[in-house]
Structure 1
Amino acid sequence: MIKKLIFCLLVFSLIFSGYSFFDKERIQASFYPGGKWQPQSASYEIAVEHNVPITMSDGVTLLADVYRPANPETGEPADEEFPVILAQTPYKKTTSHLSTDLAGATGHFPYLVKRGYINVTVDVRGTGSSEGSWEFFGERERKDGAELVNWSAHNLSGSNGKVGLAGASYLGINQFYTAALVGKNSPLKAIFPVIAANDLYKDTVTQGGIPNVEFSLPWLGLRGALDLLPPDDLAEDPLGAIETQLQRAGKLGNYYTPLVTNLLTGGEKSYAGTFWESRSPNNYLKRIAENKIPAFMVGGWFDIFQRGTPLNYSGLQNAYAGRPVNAPMSESQPVTGRYQLVMGPWFHTTALLNERLKELRLQWFDRWLKGKQTGIDKTKTPLHAFELRSKRWVNTTHYPFKQSDVKTYYFRDGRTWTAPSLNDGYLSTEKPKFFFGKDYIDWRMVSSPFTLQTEQSSMGSSSFIGELLGWPTMDRNDWTSQVGGLTFTTEPFEEAKVLAGPISASLYAKTTTEDAQFVVTVEDIGPNGKSYPLTTGALIGSQRALNKELSWYDEDGKLVVPNHPYTADSKEKVIPGEVGRYDVEVFPSFAQIAPGHRIRITVTTADTPHLLPTTTQRKDLIGGYYQILRNTEYPSSVNLPLASPDDFEDSSVIWGPSGS
């Protein structure tokens, strides 16, 4: 745990240090969305006012740092009124001035300030120098956002009354609450959330109902470590700062520890109940559209919020069109440039290196806060996706991708001689023809850590540091996960295909225990046999119950995205010896499968160090031995969304760096 915490602190310090790895030539070769806007040169310097007090309606005082456009000659704040960019951070606003000013991880945007925006960075309650108690996106913190918008519009000197929200990760997630809670006709005119979740429980806290300890525990450790640092106002108010420090130290024992313990021991926090529902942006999207607040979103195919960011896009597009937020977008529904998504080839940390976001953010806010016709909203294709393995950007419209045709591939016997697995089976569009056919695999407490999941859940930390040190791109050959697992591999594709969208794997299995754990990985296999992992899904067997009303199906009735409630009430023990169906949600991908390449499905029963079953789950998993059935009666399969590369429009805009 200590090593993990030190590693996370190192990564954050590198982010704040100002390194940039973006390919400058590619920036110069591209043009801006709309084709007629250019970013203006810096016209101002920056004047900062630290620890500005803002009193909330419950009497709690939050402290903010305010960065104002300044006269280049005098250094004094310019005698003009400007729109305000607000960021709400739990990571101490004093770190904000160390930010690279790329994705806005810390909430400081000097690029915007120098071009005529006031930047307000606030310590959320219970963090940094702000009063109150931090409760991880708690109800009172969510309300604070709306009050901060009104303060920025009406009480901040130099404000012209128009406000935008910006920031990444935590600072991206809280934008959704604020944009929903400000109500209609508010001063909030636009948001720009980067790498933000849709459903905290399904995106990050667990995968398939199994706790994601590799991300969650180090992140909570980082939050706790920041609470032990002295408040920013120590010199101004020593006694108050000491009192705050003592309160924060006590919080480690009475909030952090119980939360983690509850999650890992199978308490109420280990289920998708009210605690997580109230904190999930998904439940705020309809109100954002009703409030008519535009959103420009950024995500990554290897981000920890890989699942959720596209759902924020489809949810907002649906809400704007008057459709159910949680439904798949209809192929015939219109789309709007008011809600856009850039989905790149990035991990959580490497997404923060996207220098392109400075200009995109300026173009977005110039449109909505300054009324300039920048052209960024005038698009018929508001979804901008990077195609993995081909390194091209495409523009499209709908999620799930309407270009994709869902093909069912069945688990088959035989040997492909391409994988070091227990079975080395085939993946075929032909159903099994016999009444027998099965493969065996046992439950394992640990698995190979040298996987995409390990890198992804550590926020891409080693990739980030590798770029910093100039190391070559990490070899993602995923063969170690296949040893001890089951693999099913297609024949080589004759023509290029794009694996585009969410994936569903349906496993028919017998177990010897009262629970089961399945991990499904999708890989691109080159002619040389190297296995490039694209995406993964997982499921704890006792949460196999399917909500058919909220699951996504294609027009032929094929399951596209299984929806599991993951509640305490939906939990159902596995009956040993009986055949059960386990529909695994595999997170979306967007990757070209070149001619001569294959697609492989790898099934394992552990994902170390990413996933750790709760103590109550483990007692029903120990000693498990599974049969994965692949016969005419129980045809285990995977539904793959496949399209032709020609079905997607190439983008003339380079939306960010092409590697992670």
Structure 2
Amino acid sequence: MHARTSVHRLLAIVGLALGLIAASLTLSTTAATAATTWTPRAEQYPKTVTERDVAIPMSDGTILRGDVVRPAGADGKAIAKRFPVIVTITAYNKAVIASAGGFLGGGSDYLVKRGYVQLTVDARGTGSSEGIWRAFDARENKDGGEIMTWAHSSARPWSNGITGMTGPSYMGISQLWAAAAQPPGLKAIFPQVPGADVYRDVVASGGQLDVGFIPLWLGLVTSTGLIPPSVLATSPDSAIKELLDHLTGAGTFTVPLLLSAFLGGDPAYDGAFYKERSVINVIDKVKVPAFFVSGEYDLFQRGTPLLFENLNKRGIPTKMIVGPWDHLQASSGADIGKAGYGSLGELQLRWFDHYLKGVSDPTLNSDIANLTYYEQGTGAWRKSTKWIGPSLTGAKLRLSGTSALLGAPGGLTSGTPTAGTSSILPIPAAGLCTRSANQWTAGVPNLLIPQLPCFSDNQLNDRTGAVFSTKPLTQSITLQGPINAHLYASSAGGDGMLSVALEDEAPDGTVKRLTGGWQVISHRALDTSKSRYLDGVLIQPFHPFTKAAQKKLAPGEVAPIDVEIFPTRAKILPGHKLRIAVQAFDVPHLLPTLPELLGTLTVLTIHNSATYPSTINFPSVGTLPTVK
């Protein structure tokens, strides 16, 4: 009894903390009437009932555990019928998520009371499941398909054999791995903020290591996995085995991985380790309808659109809503109603009713666009059929003149540029108080200090680097998609990092950071076969990020550095200025490995001239107006 009480108290404490996050997110929710002809149906069942820690055997003998939530009558007893099953696979301990009130993607009651069963499973080596967690290794990814096959089976008295999946972040990625296995009965998925390419999306954007989110994330999974399993009182032998497995995972995977990466070992470079864990490599095998949610300030700002685009190009029914959200905000779905289609629960109900229950919905595609994107600068929600569609053209603005340290900025122009050189000092505080800092700590700072001025005004941070700006625009510029800063640079020490922010400067001088990108100079090698061009303009560079391709600059050498700036949709209005700011650091987001640390403490120089044509390349919505 004492063990069970202790577990419940611990879960309550963790759940309370997560619940406070949920409450804070919910406070920002505003009611939005869906601008559609569809209305959500009422509840069919008044209550739900949960069966906890159901054993789910994997093909290698490992036992995973899941909680089954079923529709119940007024008496609290489960309805003796078979229903479609919605599955969520989590690494964050299903007991903790349940205690938090379902802040990660909303609670299950909305769908369950309308005739669905919810199955939430602890991933291998986490929560109450056996095994060793290795973060989307091949064995865990195989589990996804086996879980779905188990839920599909007629041996489950509550399953009618038809399944779907929900959940954000880790749970969103799990959906795609499971769907790639093409298990029987899986009809549709609803992934919020899933990643695509582990290395480029989040682990080492631009070639430096993420020290804001990744250590916190690894710590979260490890710590929630060490909470005594809820089966401790009823199955002590199994619970002890699970705890020993989880401790082994922490000692043999999590800690060694972090140490090796920071010491410059193999995990600091792209390769087989990340290929195995990157769902972009199997996305061609996903053939079920998918509804994506993405955030413009999300951890997976880069990756989620690539997943959407792949399915969209292959003609698979696919939707994506991209809002002005960080990771916590997009995971909760609290503000998704602002897009005009209804709440998260309503969207999921409509999606699953159509694809799992076969409910006729002739206006689904006319009501909800394939792509719905929040437009920075106007606050409008824009609709499109494709990620990079025919309305976009490849455009360039040229860097011009010199950005003086703490002085006047250089220029951005579509005309003839003035030659210049601009120095960037190695200031390790650059990025510390910016929207980037909030983004790459998953939105926690914004949750704690939502009105911090530097989250909405980048002026102070920009003083630590070089700035290039247009003159006040006479015509608006609208851009959508990935962006490339093609910068000619030299380095006194042969290496360093270019951190580039794309910004909107208002007439009152306020500077809003729209998006950003990063690139280590020694990782400048370009794989043109995997890079993206629009009308001959490079808009999304692809770098190998391997040790073999790494090469420092020689003394005095000037080389083109293509900096992938993560995608956005923005309209720069007349009277405003489009600008970029370039620094040498972005903390607490990125830091170099220990062997590379001293090499980054060096002065960098941006060159722009006829010989060194530095540019900003982007997909322009319509023809780019003349920018003097």
Q: How much does 1:585 deviate?
A: 0.3
C-alpha offsets along residues 562-614 of structure 1, whole Å, 9 cap, x if unaligned? 11111222222222211111000000111221221111110110111110011
CA distance in 1, matches of 2:362, 2:28: 24
The answer as to whether partners of 2:45 and 2:115 remain within 8 angstroms in 1 is yes
Of all paired residues, the percent bearing the same amino acid is 35
Which piece of structure 1 moves more, 296-305 or 154-163? Answer: 154-163
Partner of 1:187: 185
Q: How much does 1:633 deviate?
A: 0.5
C-alpha offsets along residues 126-170 of structure 1, whole Å, 9 cap, x if unaligned? 111111111101111111111111111113212110000111110
Q: How much does 1:431 deviate?
A: 3.3
Query: Is 1:71 the counterpart of 2:73 in the alignment?
Result: yes
Change (3 A) 1:13 1:632: same
The answer as to whether partners of 1:542 and 1:571 remain within 8 angstroms in 2 is yes
Q: How much does 1:619 deviate?
A: 3.6
Partner of 1:656: none
Query: Is 1:31 the counterpart of 2:11 in the alignment?
Result: no
The answer as to whether partners of 1:421 and 1:487 remain within 8 angstroms in 2 is no
CA distance in 2, matches of 1:239, 1:159: 30
Matched to 2:123, the amino acid is V
Query: Is 1:57 the counterpart of 2:59 in the alignment?
Result: yes
- The within-5 A match list for 1:524-535 is 524-535=504-515
CA distance in 1, matches of 2:14, 2:622: 40
The answer as to whether partners of 1:90 and 1:124 remain within 8 angstroms in 2 is yes
Query: SS in structure 1 opposite 2:120?
Result: strand
Query: SS in structure 1 opposite 2:213?
Result: helix
Query: SS in structure 2 opposite 1:214?
Result: coil
Q: How much does 1:103 deviate?
A: 5.2
Matched to 2:360, the amino acid is Q
Pick from 413, 423, 437: which aligns with 1:428?
A: 413
Change (3 A) 1:299 1:341: same
Which piece of structure 1 moves more, 108-117 or 364-373? Answer: 108-117
CA distance in 2, matches of 1:48, 1:447: 49
The answer as to whether partners of 1:512 and 1:576 remain within 8 angstroms in 2 is yes
Partner of 1:652: none
Partner of 2:424: 441
CA distance in 1, matches of 2:486, 2:567: 16
Pick from 386, 391, 406: which aligns with 1:398?
A: 386
Change (3 A) 1:478 1:10: farther
Which piece of structure 1 moves more, 349-358 or 56-65? Answer: 349-358
- The within-5 A match list for 1:556-567 is 557-567=536-546
Change (3 A) 1:264 1:401: farther
CA distance in 1, matches of 2:388, 2:596: 33
Partner of 1:609: 588
Change (3 A) 1:196 1:421: farther
Query: SS in structure 2 opposite 1:253?
Result: helix
- The within-5 A match list for 1:508-523 is 508-523=488-503
Change (3 A) 1:8 1:472: farther
Partner of 1:21: 27
Q: How much does 1:413 deviate?
A: 1.6
Matched to 2:607, the amino acid is L
Partner of 1:233: 231
Partner of 1:48: 50
Q: How much does 1:248 deviate?
A: 2.2
- The within-5 A match list for 1:366-405 is 366-375=353-362, 377-379=364-366, 381-405=369-393
Query: Is 1:298 the counterpart of 2:283 in the alignment?
Result: no
Change (3 A) 1:8 1:524: farther
Provide the TM-score with structure 2 as the length reference: 0.91
Change (3 A) 1:586 1:421: farther
- The within-5 A match list for 1:123-162 is 123-154=122-153, 155-162=155-162
Partner of 2:438: 455
Matched to 2:231, the amino acid is D
Partner of 1:175: 175
The answer as to whether partners of 1:162 and 1:187 remain within 8 angstroms in 2 is yes
Change (3 A) 1:10 1:480: farther
The answer as to whether partners of 2:294 and 2:320 remain within 8 angstroms in 1 is yes
Query: SS in structure 1 opposite 2:575?
Result: coil
C-alpha offsets along residues 255-279 of structure 1, whole Å, 9 cap, x if unaligned? 2111001111211111110111111
Q: How much does 1:233 deviate?
A: 0.6
Change (3 A) 1:91 1:212: same
- The within-5 A match list for 1:195-594 is 195-289=193-287, 293-318=288-313, 320-321=314-315, 338-355=317-334, 356-375=343-362, 377-379=364-366, 381-413=369-401, 421=406, 424-432=409-417, 436-466=419-449, 476-555=456-535, 557-594=536-573
The answer as to whether partners of 1:83 and 1:161 remain within 8 angstroms in 2 is yes
CA distance in 2, matches of 1:270, 1:198: 18
C-alpha offsets along residues 222-278 of structure 1, whole Å, 9 cap, x if unaligned? 122112211111111224323432332343222211100111121111111011111
The answer as to whether partners of 1:37 and 1:374 remain within 8 angstroms in 2 is no
C-alpha offsets along residues 460-518 of structure 1, whole Å, 9 cap, x if unaligned? 11323456xxx699751111221120000101112333222211001111222232211
The answer as to whether partners of 2:328 and 2:443 remain within 8 angstroms in 1 is yes
C-alpha offsets along residues 288-324 of structure 1, whole Å, 9 cap, x if unaligned? 13xxx11100000000100111111111123x15xxx
CA distance in 1, matches of 2:598, 2:398: 32
CA distance in 2, matches of 1:397, 1:432: 36
Change (3 A) 1:543 1:377: farther
Matched to 2:321, the amino acid is V
CA distance in 1, matches of 2:405, 2:347: 45
Q: How much does 1:122 deviate?
A: 0.7
Change (3 A) 1:156 1:473: farther
The answer as to whether partners of 1:539 and 1:584 remain within 8 angstroms in 2 is yes
The answer as to whether partners of 1:304 and 1:456 remain within 8 angstroms in 2 is yes
Provide the TM-score with structure 1 as the length reference: 0.87
CA distance in 1, matches of 2:179, 2:260: 31
Q: How much does 1:23 deviate?
A: 4.2
C-alpha offsets along residues 2-33 of structure 1, whole Å, 9 cap, x if unaligned? xxxxx9998634235686235444x2x3334x
Which piece of structure 1 moves more, 590-599 or 250-259? Answer: 250-259
Q: Unaligned regions of 5+ residues in structure 1, if any?
A: 1-6, 322-335, 647-660
Change (3 A) 1:420 1:386: farther
The answer as to whether partners of 2:65 and 2:128 remain within 8 angstroms in 1 is yes
CA distance in 2, matches of 1:341, 1:36: 18
C-alpha offsets along residues 175-205 of structure 1, whole Å, 9 cap, x if unaligned? 111000135xx21000000011011110010
C-alpha offsets along residues 322-356 of structure 1, whole Å, 9 cap, x if unaligned? xxxxxxxxxxxxxx6x1111111100011234341
Matched to 2:117, the amino acid is I
CA distance in 1, matches of 2:596, 2:408: 27
CA distance in 1, matches of 2:38, 2:423: 60
Q: How much does 1:443 deviate?
A: 2.9
Query: SS in structure 1 opposite 2:590?
Result: coil
How many residue pairs get aligned? The number is 602
Query: SS in structure 2 opposite 1:157?
Result: coil
CA distance in 1, matches of 2:203, 2:436: 14
Q: How much does 1:102 deviate?
A: 6.0
Q: How much does 1:454 deviate?
A: 0.2
Partner of 2:92: 91
CA distance in 1, matches of 2:85, 2:369: 29
Which piece of structure 1 moves more, 219-228 or 358-367? Answer: 219-228
The answer as to whether partners of 2:70 and 2:78 remain within 8 angstroms in 1 is yes
Q: How much does 1:448 deviate?
A: 4.3
Matched to 1:384, the amino acid is T
